[in-house]
């Protein structure tokens, strides 16, 4: 493929289309608008459907409906819209409707800083909707990763029958870089597993060794019930303790069994490191430059870059070299990933946070001053 100059939001669209997304419903909100605008132009040419909804609540409902009807579906928003989507994200988790929600994060709370970056929605991505449920959330730190992780998000949603959140901060969403996208035939595409049994034998929420039930599309001749209520294997509401317990545990089982492929992270110069920066999104780029600066000045520093935020990749912290004595977590919030790092670290090393919430990217100088 020829090199292209793309911004993160544009690369996200390219990744979604390459992964087979053919339905998009959304409501305009800064700083994710380019995703909806480009989807509106591109989808009809591919036989897909674009709908501008009246709000984010309707947007989430529409992609759930499209998913149940058999299409790979996506929406995009930012923090305030993401808040409005939470009830329907919970419905998607309970109904096991595959879909992708892109959240290009901006400063908050409330209307906050509409055009400026933040990483303030990390905990909302995990705990925004009520009840016990697993969640997959990915975060890119480059334009190429915006493409790659969007493909991953679609694949994970299809494979595990679950909503998946792609968290981009505004810097990555609007960053332009030269990228070479992969050849279409080299991209791994995963489609939901469908039943082949006669319709009368079909159990839409049946447990199996993967924990992921086979999913028939509405209109394919497999009639079944979908509800946000806790349900039995046929999809009908139940309050029987044994059926409720089995249903909720299976939601976790299917994600737990995929931990090895879902928990994505990269390491940089950590083999002999005594100090490691744990970062994600655009801040990981700043952190990498700090590591190089420290190395040039004789300090054994390394970087742990997180591409998956949920489920939190605890093995990345647990497998750090024994030489590591200090962990620093720079992020554009008041310490949302720091809390997870500190929890998993269990006191083995010193963990310090470096926070910035004024709408500006953390600079190398600010990290260096915090470390000094």
Question: Tell me, what CATH number does 96's domain have?
Answer: 3.40.50.970
Pick the last residue of a domain from 186, 215, 231.
186
Please tell me the predicted confidence (pLDDT) of residue 369. Answer: 97
Range of the domain at 341: 264-371
Please tell me the predicted confidence (pLDDT) of residue 68. Answer: 97
* Percent of the chain surpassing pLDDT 90: 99
Global pTM reads: 0.97
Q: Check whether residue 319 and residue 176 sit in a common domain.
A: no
Within a domain: 294: yes
Q: Check whether residue 163 and residue 281 sit in a common domain.
A: no
Within a domain: 75: yes
Within a domain: 255: no
Residue 208: which pLDDT band, with cuts at 50, 70 and 90? very high
Q: Check whether residue 313 and residue 179 sit in a common domain.
A: no
Q: Mind listing the pLDDT tens digit for each residue in 334-357?
A: 999 999 999 999 999 999 999 999
Pick the last residue of a domain from 186, 203, 229.
186
Q: Is the peptide bond before 109 cis (omega within 30 degrees of 0)?
A: yes
Within a domain: 43: yes
Give the N- to C-terminal CA distance of the chain in Å, as an integer: 44
Is the pLDDT assigned to residue 115 strictly greater than 90? yes
Which tokens sit at 139? 């975060």
How far, CA to CA in Å, does 240 sit from each of 212, 244, 275, 310, 357? 21, 6, 51, 30, 46
Is the pLDDT assigned to residue 372 strictly greater than 90? no
CA atoms within 13 Å, Cβ hemisphere of 54: 2
Within a domain: 13: yes
Q: Check whether residue 30 and residue 154 sit in a common domain.
A: yes
Number of domains in the chain: 2
Residue 169, H or E segment: strand 163-169
**Mean pLDDT computed over every residue of the chain:** 97
Contact 137, 309 (CB under 8 A): yes
Q: Check whether residue 159 and residue 289 sit in a common domain.
A: no
Burial class of residue 365, CB neighbours in 10 A (0-12, 13-18, 19+): exposed
Please tell me the predicted confidence (pLDDT) of residue 130. Answer: 94
Is the pLDDT assigned to residue 1 strictly greater than 90? no
Radius of gyration of the chain (CA): 21
Pick the last residue of a domain from 160, 186, 212.
186
CATH classification of the domain holding 360: 3.40.50.920
Q: How far is the C-alpha of 116 from the C-alpha of 141, rounded, in Å?
A: 16
Mean predicted confidence (pLDDT) in 80-94: 98
Within a domain: 90: yes
Question: How many CB atoms are closer than 10 A to CB 129?
Answer: 20
């Amino acid at each position: 493929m020829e090199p292209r100059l793309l911004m993160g939001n544009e690369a996200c669209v390219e990744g979604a289309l390459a992964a087979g997304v053919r339905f998009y419903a959304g409501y305009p909100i800064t700083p994710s608008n380019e995703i909806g605008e480009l989807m509106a132009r591109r989808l009809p040419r591919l036989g897909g459907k674009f709908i501008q909804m009246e709000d984010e609540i309707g947007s989430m409902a529409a992609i759930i409906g499209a998913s149940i009807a058999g299409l790979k579906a996506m929406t995009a928003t930012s923090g305030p819209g993401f808040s409005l989507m939470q009830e329907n994200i919970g419905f998607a988790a309970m109904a096991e409707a595959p879909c992708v929600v892109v959240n290009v994060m901006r400063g908050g709370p409330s209307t906050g800083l509409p055009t400026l970056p933040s990483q303030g929605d990390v905990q909302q991505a995990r705990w925004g909707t009520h009840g016990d449920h697993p969640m997959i959330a990915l975060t890119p730190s480059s334009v190429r990763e915006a493409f790659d992780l969007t493909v991953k998000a679609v694949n994970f949603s299809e494979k595990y029958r679950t909503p998946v959140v792609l968290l981009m901060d505004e810097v990555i969403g609007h960053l332009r870089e030269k990228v070479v996208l992969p050849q279409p035939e080299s991209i791994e595409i995963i489609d939901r597993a469908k039943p082949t049994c006669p319709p009368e034998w079909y159990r839409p929420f049946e447990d199996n060794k993967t924990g992921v039930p086979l999913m028939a599309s509405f209109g394919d001749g497999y009639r079944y019930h979908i509800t946000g209520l806790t349900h039995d294997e046929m999809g009908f509401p139940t309050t029987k303790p044994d059926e409720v317990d089995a249903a909720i545990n299976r939601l976790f089982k299917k994600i737990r069994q995929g931990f090895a492929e879902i928990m994505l992270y990269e390491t940089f110069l950590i083999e002999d490191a005594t100090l490691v920066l744990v970062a994600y999104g655009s801040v990981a780029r700043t952190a990498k430059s700090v590591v190089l600066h420290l190395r040039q000045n004789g300090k054994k520093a390394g970087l742990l870059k997180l591409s998956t935020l949920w489920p939190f990749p605890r093995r990345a912290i647990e497998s750090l070299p024994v030489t590591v004595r200090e962990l620093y977590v720079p992020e554009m919030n008041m310490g949302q990933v720091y809390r997870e790092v500190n929890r998993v670290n269990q006191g083995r090393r010193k963990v310090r946070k470096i926070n910035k919430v004024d709408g500006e990217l953390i600079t190398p100088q600010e990290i260096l001053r915090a470390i000094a």
